[in-house]
Amino acid sequence: MSDNEHLNYARSKIADVPDFPKPGILFKDITPLLQDKKAFNDAVDDLASHLNGANKVAGIESRGFIFAAAIAAKHNLGLVLLRKPGKLPRKTHVVQYQLEYGFDSLEMHQDSLDKNDRVLLVDDVLATGGTMMAGCELIAKSGAKLTNCAVFIEISALNGRNRLSSIPIHSSIIV
């Protein structure tokens, strides 16, 4: 876990949007950060500091894709997409997970990873941890080794870290 001064500038580019997409949610909008080359670069470098020997970076749809793709390109690594249901055209592994009301699922092509791969799993925000847990389970199904999870923003009040207690997770900024 780190919450370092070198990320103060990037932190200043997160916009808090109350009651989006529904009442009671404080949405962490990263679009101002993405528009700013220093803030975006600082965020990507911090997330990539926990590659721990990964040869692939997996991103969770959709904002996780942005950070994962940037890390993969910058470090010459493969990129794997963990997508919402029905988006991937070939055979997939599927993991269902619980939302506040109902269920959602994540899918990954079966040939995206194998037991020789070492993977950094990336998303923008860790809230309750359900999404990240599903991502970890997808990677486990493939037989690949998870080197670390990395999120740009951790919402500590929602206790996602506790749910992922056995999994190494780095968060750039803790709110």
Active site residues: 63, 100
Number of residues this chain uses to bind ligand AMP (CB under 6 A): 18
Q: How far is CA 160 from CA 63, 98, 129, 146, in A?
A: 18, 13, 4, 18
Window of 76-84, 113-121, 130-138, 164-172 that interacts with ligand AMP by CB under 6 A: 130-138
Looking at 45-53, 84-92, 123-131, 135-143, which segment touches ligand AMP (CB under 6 A)? 123-131
Q: Helix or strand or coil: residue 79?
A: strand
Does 43 contact ligand AMP by CB under 6 A?
A: no
Residue matched to tokens 């079966």 = 110
Query: Residue 154 corresponds to which tokens in the numbers above?
Result: 């951790």
Q: Which is nearer to ligand AMP, 55 or 169 (CB)?
A: 169
> At 119, which amino acid appears?
V
Among 7, 11, 14, 28, binds ligand AMP (CB under 6 A): 28
What lies within 8 Å, CB to CB, of 15 at 6+ separation is 28, 29, 31, 32
Interface residue list for ligand AMP (CB under 6 A): 25-28, 60, 63, 123-132, 155, 160
